[in-house]
A and B are shown apart, each in its own frame.
Chain A
């Protein structure tokens, strides 16, 4: 009897019981999490950079293109669209706000800026995304 009490009050037993209690508590959180997620089975999941996917075919075997934008591309203010484009179009290198490449993605806040940039670069659109960005090629 004494041995049993001693065993029950041992450090090992105490830690095991506390750990099991913790597992019980955490499992409740996990179950709640699981139930919330499993009730949204039809929520569509988009690949990052889907808005640039239409340019993929035009960029086969192209090493580098420009990515011109007037959006705030600082890391704090969502460099996301640039990185999303880079992810989607890899292994093509995107050069942020560099105009020297022959092909450029124009991702502006308004179509007016896009048209203005195309004119100043003497380029023509070769593909456009329904989400706004345009892929333009410089004219000889």
Chain B
């Protein structure tokens, strides 16, 4: 219904469903999360403005129309026109974006988001794992650090025998290769876990110092940028293809790397607040830099090698992707 006679058409079409698309946007964060109130709302405003109101978004936060780990499938089937969630919640589905979960790949969420989105644009194999939707932007949370109440962790050996909350299945392997025991635990329980000694440490991003008040229970933070968590925001293919070429172009222009960076910076902003609060509370930050880093790289390199080998065996150019990611890490920092 879009075309040259737009102005005349618009009034007539106001009541028809095709002319005005109210996209169903489903995501896993609460409705007051900046991911909605800043990033998605901003996208919505731009869309409405640039398409003269032909496209707008209607938000369904907090998994109210489907589980966090089904958000991607919902965009595949069209239950949601747009969905956003954590890639790792659908294990096995995205073998390549997990490259961001490897250690030392990024230094902030914005940084990680830019790397991830660039990798997506450069590698057809990463596009292929999202072939059943039309991705809008891939982004990332902040890299995880190691936080502990009682243990000042500076060397990999300090991790020996500790019970550590793991961020992901790949995180399990990282933790195991440091000689520690990975524990899977929902984020909501980590505070108490640390406080009551159920776990000795947690591999979590700075943002949790603030959002989960970890600054109250944690005394040491080892800053090594161990693993970042990739997210997706994708559109149902049919929804996308039903738009006119010009509208598709508007969508393409408004999404992509810039929006990914904006989404990442939401997590960085919380992270900064968290670090601030923790410093005020006397938490010690142990920065792993230069020489302090090498034993960690050594200890974790088998896990990285394993990630590469496993995927190479499955026929993915994993080495190439990993190398390029490291390159981008330097280039974009």
Task: Decide if A and B are genuine partners.
Answer: no
Chain B interface (Cβ within 8 Å of chain A)? none
